[in-house]
Amino acid sequence: MTEEIIIKVGYLGPPGTYSHQAAIQQFREYESQLNTTVIYKPQKSISSCFTSVQDGTVDYSLVPFENSSNGQVVLTYDLFRDWFTNSLSESAKNVVQTEIPKFKVISEQFVPIHHNLITFSKDIKKITKIYSHPQVWTQCRRFLSDYELDNNIKVEKLDTSSTSKAVENLLSIKDDNERETTAAIASSTASEIHNVPIKLANVEDFHGNTTRFLCLGLKGGEKKFTLNITPETNENKISDHKMHLLTFIIKNNDNFGSLCDILAKFKKYNLNLQTITTRPSVDRAWQYVFFVEVWDNKEKTALSSCIEELEPLVVELSVNAIQKMLDYSKKNFVILLTFCSSMFSSPTKIILSFRTKELSKRYIHVNKTGKEGGNNRLKLTFDPSAVIISNHQIYSDWFFIWFLAYLNNCSDHFFIVMKKSLKKIPILGYGMTNYNFVFLSRNWELDKNYMIKQFNTIKTISDKFWMLIFPEGTNMSHSNRIKSHKFAAKNDLPKQDCVLLPRIKGLYVACKELAPNTTKIIDFTIGYSEHGKDEMAQDIFTLWKIYILGESPQHVSILVDEFDLKKELPSIDWSGSEDFVPTEEEERELNTMNIWINEKWEKKEKDMDYYYKTGQFNEGEEEQFEIDLKLNSSWEIVYVYLPSFVLVPVIGSVWALTKYLMS
Ligand SMILES: O=C(O)C(=O)Cc1ccccc1
């Protein structure tokens, strides 16, 4: 039996606060993991969110850090400051450092803040007293002053420890008149939890009002878990996560230009500062603790070198890497697709085989104790960063690859390079644009600059990614095969029947741009069991058939191979240097890579040919792994879509009705 993992998460309580929302946002994905329980523990104050991490009552805590309209949350900064200066004074007293455990910032969560006027009152014009958290007053300033002016009333604003507590206060009012004249400002969740109605929704001054929360833990604390939520940072060691929070006190702050000397170091190393905040150090008048948020630059060593040079200029320095927020909506999307496919379509099995035994040993693990038949028995451990290439058979090949990314726990970092025309697909196209997919227009000059821009955006969003690109550019069809044959004849290339000739330019730009993060290529070859060489999979599995009639492929066979571009193509510069590349050099690199990809596609042609003849990719003795196309746990769909649960029956009914009308 594997040991049960319990994650205790603190947040500013009671339930229904924005901090609660941030905590759920951060840990939701672990709720559905096997052997893992997440316990949310409401705290009385932001201060106890800190102390409960320190004394081990919780493993993590979420604290509000800054708001998009009213800036830094001073209280949180002061608590950070206290922790920082306390550990300083302890070290000065020569007390063993471990007495004050060092906190660590693990990640950030952005929570959209929509405030509501919540009250039992039948006439909101009578409200003269409002309870809320102090941060709310500045976020609803305009609303409050308009309200006072319009109703010629002076409203008494009473601070509470949290917004949800404000609503709770309304429940304890016994006097009818007081109930009529008192309100709270809080989230819709707080209104639901305490069952007090919202009388005015969205009373915040700015649309897009968002609070950034930080998730705190202890240095070394994550060792308790096997969860991969924390970047590997040790004290003063830089992780490859991009945003870092540095905390320090300047050494000779009375000296002329001492702050300037510090800033010059960031400039020297090309490090982009996001914010600088100071708080009084308290120990000494006019001495400050500095908080600097800095983006690491491309060469991961820049920040380390900068910190080395900063050390003589500061009293002490603490470094925290802040993991970028994960885009759960992508994972949710693949979860929804998988759920719908497993519920409403004919069952699909993915049959994975590997080019070599060594690859299968490395990337697939069979857990003998898992549920028989369920995917819990299988774990994929491919690199979380890679360019994924594949032959293209049907429109929805990408779904099966995204599903593998889901099993590999990296479906949040999934991107696809696809034809621009797919942007026009209703709903899906809109979603794909939001998912930062890369759309090509097949005009090299336009595409090249756009791709570079898009890849750079992706790199700032995520350190890790699976970037799927179909080098064939379009899927296999009779007409595309004829075009490919003509092109082959003209360019003296072999005629291929099972795959189309690969195109090089998009692949080249993708590999070059992403090389600073990864030079790994994972190569999939996809075959569908229900057709032979002369029938096209796209004619059998039309979108109509898959999505409306629910007829999915029974067996999707995928052969896995992998390469490292640095080893495969050492004559190409994979350093990611942004120096100007002369056209002749680019031309040479393109040719080199073109020869390489054509060789790989010739191999693919042979693999596909073998597959059509035998129904499998490997010659007999190699192991094949069958994976049911379904969720690891059916509960995942409930956790993920609980808020929008009503939509599922609606979509389901529309789908069932369409199917009924069509049959
Ligand atoms: O009181 C809450 O709900 C909190 O989590 C603190 C807070 C208050 C207002 C905006 C964001 C966070």
Distance in Å, CA 506 to ligand 1 centroid: 46
Tokens of residue 270, six digits: 């090309």
Q: Please, are residues 168 and 16 in contact by the beta-carbon 8 Å criterion?
A: no
Q: Which atom in ligand 1 lies closest to the alpha carbon of residue 190?
A: 3
Q: Please, are residues 468 and 522 in contact by the beta-carbon 8 Å criterion?
A: no
- SS3 state at 328: helix
pLDDT at residue 230 in the model = 40
3-state DSSP percent of the chain in helix, strand and coil, to 5: 40, 25, 35
Distance in Å, CA 185 to ligand 1 centroid: 10
Give the single-character DSSP code of 544. Answer: I
**Closest CA to ligand 1's atom 7:** 18
> Model confidence at 372, in pLDDT bands (50, 70, 90)?
very low
pLDDT at residue 299 in the model = 62
Residues in contact with ligand 1 by the CB-under-6-Å rule are 12, 17-19, 64, 113, 133, 135-136, 162-164, 211
Confidence check: pLDDT of 456 > 60: yes
**C-alpha to C-alpha distance for 86 and 80, rounded to whole angstroms:** 10
pLDDT at residue 644 in the model = 55
Q: Please, are residues 600 and 344 in contact by the beta-carbon 8 Å criterion?
A: no
pLDDT in tens, 331-354: 777 777 787 777 777 788 999 999
Nearest to residue 605, comparing CAs of 432, 512, 488? 488
Distance in Å, CA 166 to ligand 1 centroid: 11
**C-alpha to C-alpha distance for 224 and 56, rounded to whole angstroms:** 12
Q: How far is CA 573 from CA 134, 581, 587, 590, 599, in A?
A: 55, 10, 13, 11, 20
**Closest CA to ligand 1's atom 3:** 17
**C-alpha to C-alpha distance for 520 and 621, rounded to whole angstroms:** 27
* CA within 13 Å, CB half, 598: 16
pLDDT in tens, 412-453: 889 999 888 777 776 677 667 667 788 888 788 788 888 887
Q: Which of 11, 138, 163, 192 to mutate to test the pocket of ligand 1 (most atoms within 8 A of CB)?
A: 163
Q: Please, are residues 162 and 133 in contact by the beta-carbon 8 Å criterion?
A: yes
The answer to whether the peptide bond before residue 14 is cis (omega within 30 degrees of 0) is yes
> Model confidence at 236, in pLDDT bands (50, 70, 90)?
very low
> Model confidence at 229, in pLDDT bands (50, 70, 90)?
very low
Q: Which atom in ligand 1 lies closest to the alpha carbon of residue 166?
A: 1
Phi-psi region of 449 (alpha: psi -120 to 50; beta: other; left: phi over 0): alpha
Distance in Å, CA 135 to ligand 1 centroid: 7
**Closest CA to ligand 1's atom 1:** 162
- CATH fold of 116-208 reads D-Maltodextrin-Binding Protein; domain 2 (3.40.190)
Task: Count the Cβ atoms, other than its own, within 10 Å of residue 172.
Answer: 6
ipTM of the modeled complex: 0.96
**Closest CA to ligand 1's atom 12:** 18
Distance in Å, CA 220 to ligand 1 centroid: 29
Confidence check: pLDDT of 189 > 80: yes
Distance in Å, CA 105 to ligand 1 centroid: 19
Distance in Å, CA 12 to ligand 1 centroid: 8
Nearest to residue 62, comparing CAs of 18, 10, 7? 10
End-to-end CA distance of the chain: 48
The whole model's pTM is what?
0.56
Distance in Å, CA 162 to ligand 1 centroid: 6
Q: Which atom in ligand 1 lies closest to the alpha carbon of residue 211?
A: 11
Q: Please, are residues 464 and 413 in contact by the beta-carbon 8 Å criterion?
A: yes
pLDDT in tens, 395-405: 889 889 999 99
Q: Which of 131, 132, 135 to mutate to test the pocket of ligand 1 (most atoms within 8 A of CB)?
A: 135
Give the single-character DSSP code of 101. Answer: P
The residue that leads in pLDDT, 465 or 619, is 465
> Model confidence at 97, in pLDDT bands (50, 70, 90)?
very low
Give the single-character DSSP code of 622. Answer: S
pLDDT at residue 235 in the model = 37
Tokens of residue 78, six digits: 């002061």
Confidence check: pLDDT of 282 > 90: no
**C-alpha to C-alpha distance for 67 and 205, rounded to whole angstroms:** 13
Q: Which of 9, 11, 17 to mutate to test the pocket of ligand 1 (most atoms within 8 A of CB)?
A: 17
Distance in Å, CA 136 to ligand 1 centroid: 7
Q: Which of 110, 138, 162 to mutate to test the pocket of ligand 1 (most atoms within 8 A of CB)?
A: 162
Q: Please, are residues 468 and 401 in contact by the beta-carbon 8 Å criterion?
A: yes
Q: Which of 211, 212, 213, 215 to mutate to test the pocket of ligand 1 (most atoms within 8 A of CB)?
A: 211
pLDDT at residue 479 in the model = 92
**C-alpha to C-alpha distance for 178 and 144, rounded to whole angstroms:** 19
**C-alpha to C-alpha distance for 312 and 250, rounded to whole angstroms:** 10
Distance in Å, CA 426 to ligand 1 centroid: 37
> Model confidence at 154, in pLDDT bands (50, 70, 90)?
very high
Distance in Å, CA 431 to ligand 1 centroid: 30
Q: Which atom in ligand 1 lies closest to the alpha carbon of residue 162?
A: 1
Q: Please, are residues 65 and 109 in contact by the beta-carbon 8 Å criterion?
A: no
The residue that leads in pLDDT, 624 or 456, is 624
pLDDT in tens, 256-268: 888 999 999 999 9
Distance in Å, CA 79 to ligand 1 centroid: 16
- SS3 state at 295: strand
Q: Which atom in ligand 1 lies closest to the alpha carbon of residue 135?
A: 9
The residues, any chain, with a CB within 8 Å of residue 662's CB and separated by 6 or more, are 548, 549
Domain boundaries along the sequence of the chain = 116-208, 328-632
Q: Please, are residues 73 and 111 in contact by the beta-carbon 8 Å criterion?
A: no
pLDDT in tens, 474-490: 889 999 999 999 999 99
Distance in Å, CA 58 to ligand 1 centroid: 20
Torsion of CA 134, 138, 139, 141, to 10 degrees: 120
**C-alpha to C-alpha distance for 88 and 94, rounded to whole angstroms:** 10
pLDDT at residue 238 in the model = 43
pLDDT in tens, 109-130: 888 898 999 999 999 999 999 9
Q: Which atom in ligand 1 lies closest to the alpha carbon of residue 11?
A: 5
> Model confidence at 101, in pLDDT bands (50, 70, 90)?
low
Give the single-character DSSP code of 554. Answer: S
Q: Which of these ranges, 215-229, 418-432, 603-617, has the smallest mean pLDDT? A: 215-229
Task: Count the Cβ atoms, other than its own, within 10 Å of residue 504.
Answer: 19
Helix axes 444-461, 505-514, angle to 10 degrees: 30
Q: Which atom in ligand 1 lies closest to the alpha carbon of residue 17?
A: 3
Mean pLDDT computed over every residue of the chain: 84
Distance in Å, CA 17 to ligand 1 centroid: 6
